[in-house]
Amino acid sequence: MVREPSQKMKDLVTHLREKINYHNHRYHSLDAPEISDREFDGLFRQLKEIESLHPELVTIDSPTQRVGAVPLEAFTQIKHEKPMLSLDNAFEAEDLIEFDDKVRKRLEHKGQLIYSGEPKIDGVAVSLLYEYGELKRAATRGDGFTGEDITQNARTIGTIPLTLLGSGFPEKLEVRGEIYIPISDFHAMNIAAKKVGEKEFANPRNAAAGSLRQLDPAKTAKRQLKMFAYSIGSHEGKQLPVSQIKLLESLGEWGLRINPLRRTLFGIEECISYYEKVLGDRSELDYEIDGVVLKVDSFLLQEKLGFLSRSPRWAIAKKFPAEEGVSYLEEVRFQVGRTGALTPVARLKPVRVGGVTITNASLHNMDEVDRLGIRIGDAVVVERAGDVIPKIKKVLIEKRVRPTTDIQLPSNCPVCGSIIIRNPDTVVVRCGAGLSCSAQRKETIRHFASRLALNIEGLGEKIIGQLVDENLISNVSDIYRLTKKQLTELERIGSKSADNIIESINRSKHTTLPRFIYSLGIPDIGEATAKELANFFGGIEEIGMASEQSLQEVPDVGEIIARNIRQFFSKNENYLIVRELVELGVTWPEMSSNESLPLKEEIFVITGTLVSFSRVVAKEKLEFLGAKVSTTITKRTTCLISGDKAGTKLSKAIDLKIKIFSEEEFLKLLEKYNV
Ligand code: IVH
């Protein structure tokens, strides 16, 4: 029998954790380890052993608990207490001088201003919330107002402390910064992906974003993500340092990683030289940067300057010029999109630009081809700006020595062979075959299954491609007729993956009206318009029968969208597909008006894994009944839905005597309201 841990044992655990946290910080954040990896592993193993003998001593902030949380079904949305703004951009030195003039004028400041200079990291912006020094929550920036809860994944990142070091930090502190993947690790990742036939990432930023968006934290843990902290959001208790550079230093002392290239700069001239210096040193860094960020250093002055709508008046990003390379246009292929639009895509002789190999560039449309005067065989300047899709900047006419060939718009669809339709009013040319063209079928199905539509996890581009090519599905309703047997007959799909796909197909049947409308892929109807339509009409039949005139009464819907909706429903095949989907079991709760919502007083939190449907759908259902759904338990929380493998949230809810629903009880509640 294992005995109660003695006080001595408890002290040893605390001591080991402090020691591990300290050395973790030296290793990951300061790049200055004091002990060997072996010694570190020894400490870690010792702690793990004690914790396995005395599980009651395990705490959520123990360094052993970074990985190990159960995979999520979907990410929860989080509203930022203070919006995460963006920065105004400057491209020329004159823009900086103008910025400085404006700032000084506003402040009525005659002499030089002190600025802070930092590299602009090209990664993914995140927010980390610490309460009493403990990491409580991590979220992505999202649209600046709402992001996604990535706490489980952030916990696996070595440069993110689970507990802040030292003292003097505010009781509540929201740290903001950028998560990225080192360039060398990005290359290693792509080499490994290529070996097993997986899709490679276009650039380190995408690789970082993709790694953070893993539902299984064990997968994120395998990626070499790192973080630089650069500012704070909301905070309570304790006075903060008075300037940006001092704040960065404090963040460093509290265990966060701060960028070593930060500088205090006196006057705008020093800012310009700083930019030049960082630009010169850029190629030696193992992380991507796309410029420098200059901030008025004093927080008092920052406060006086305030904000414009989406960016602060006290900061500016001086962007680096786009990186360029020279390549040759080998071929132009025409891609067919969901609505049949043909896009010319340039196939280039592989060229490395800013550490990334470029083989394709979009030519957008034939007008762009004409504007560039480009021909097959031409030498071209390829430009890559940050995350943007590579672009052909210009043709090097002087290098045109070999014979070149004209780029011809095909007269038939490159996929299905149907005649191409040209509308003289627009530059867009289309394959008019609609769903009889397999490219349009694939894209339509892909859109239907995508995350913001019916969210059928596991049904990605490759599988859809195979299913369509094998004639197993030809429209979206066929998805609901798929069998496990059909799936396992496809290449590279085992029994387990087939089960998972079938399960997510079944789960997707419970959806909402806005998602359903969006999933149909009517041209120009995004999520927001789909919501407006759902709120206005309340049912799909009503939308299908509405006249163009009444459709235009909906906010967001103008002449073009109204016409697109009418055209969609006037096609018999579309009408039939909608009907079939409903017959095959796709359902959504009815939309109702706000006043009489039964759960309008309640604040729910959902924890653990639900079997009947994803957490996102559970949240939508609750919101539909008027409830608010939050991700953290507070005194204001009124109910907790506790699924399988619920963790700390459940114990916290018990402590706070919050009403707890099992999944079964939750289903009964929904049933009561016919949702
Ligand atoms: S400060 C009020 N500092 O750039 C804005 N941002 O367009 C506060 N970024 O989304 C941002 N490095 O993700 C700041 N040293 C740095 C940065 C930085 C990268 C990103 C950030 C933000 C975007 C702004």
State whether 149 and 287 are in the same domain: yes
25 and 168 belong to one structural domain = no
Tally of domains in the chain: 6
pLDDT given for residue 141 in this prediction? 93
Residue ending a domain, choose from 450, 482, 508:
508
Q: Is 85 in the pocket of ligand 1 (CB under 6 A)?
A: yes
Are 157 and 231 found together in one domain?
yes
Task: Indicate if 169 and 272 belong to the same structural domain.
Answer: yes
| Alpha helices (H) in 143-295, listed in sequence order | 151-154, 183-195, 204-212, 217-222, 244-253, 267-281
Which atom of ligand 1 is closest in space to residue 125's alpha carbon?
13
User: What residues in the chain have per-residue pLDDT under 70?
Assistant: 1-2, 68, 197, 355, 385-388, 592-596
Index of the ligand 1 atom closest to the CA of residue 295:
1
pLDDT score recorded for residue 543? 95
Q: Across the chain, how many H-helices and E-strands are there?
A: 24, 22
628-630: strand order across its sheet: 628-630, 603-607, 639-642, 659-662
Please check whether residue 383 lies inside any domain of the structure.
yes
Q: Considering just the CA atoms, what is the radius of gyration of the chain in Å?
A: 28
Is 457 domain-assigned?
yes
Q: Is any ligand 1 atom within 6 A of the Cβ of residue 87?
A: yes
| Three-point CA angle 210, 214, 216, nearest 5° | 160
Are 51 and 99 contained in the same domain? no
The finding on whether 118 has its CB within 6 A of some atom of ligand 1 is yes
The identity of residue 469, as a single letter, is D
Asked which of 535, 552, 583 is the last residue of a domain, the reply is 583
Output the pLDDT for position 595.
Answer: 54
State in Å: Cα 283 to ligand 1 middle.
Answer: 20
Determine the distance separating the centroid of ligand 1 and the alpha carbon of 136, expressed in angstroms.
Answer: 22
Residue whose CA is at the smallest distance from ligand 1 atom 9: 120
Q: Is 302 in the pocket of ligand 1 (CB under 6 A)?
A: no
Does 202 share its domain with 250? yes
Q: What is the pLDDT of residues 184-220, one digit of tens each?
A: 999 899 888 877 767 778 789 989 999 998 888 998 9
Helix/strand/coil for 85? coil
Give the domain CATH number at 536: 1.10.150.20
Can you tell me which atom of ligand 1 is nearest the CA of 118?
15
The pTM (predicted TM-score) of the whole model is 0.63
Distance between CA 664 and CA 653 in Å, rounded?
Answer: 18
What would the pLDDT profile of 299-316 be if each residue is shown by its tens digit?
999 999 998 878 999 999
Task: Give, using CA atoms, the residue closest to atom 13 of ligand 1.
Answer: 125
Q: Is the CB of 231 under 6 A from ligand 1?
A: yes
Q: Which atom of ligand 1 is nearest to the CA of 119?
A: 15
Regarding whether 223 and 127 lie in a shared domain, the answer is yes
Residues catalogued as catalytic: 120
> What CATH number did the domain enclosing 655 receive?
3.40.50.10190
Q: Which atom of ligand 1 is nearest to the CA of 122?
A: 19
Question: Where does a domain end: 583, 608, 629?
Answer: 583
Residues 379, 454 within the same domain: no
CA distance 553 to 542: 14
Q: From atom 17 of ligand 1, which residue's Cα is the shortest distance away?
A: 120
Q: Is 178 in the pocket of ligand 1 (CB under 6 A)?
A: yes
On whether both 13 and 152 belong to a single domain, the answer is no
For a mutational test of ligand 1's pocket, the pick from 293, 294, 314, i.e. the residue with the most ligand atoms closer than 8 A to its C-beta, is 293
- Determine which residue's CA is closest to atom 21 belonging to ligand 1: 125
Q: Does residue 252 share a domain with residue 151?
A: yes
Count of other CB atoms within 10 angstroms of residue 573: 10
Domain that holds residue 382: 323-399
Q: How far is the CA of 23 from the centre of ligand 1 (A)?
A: 28
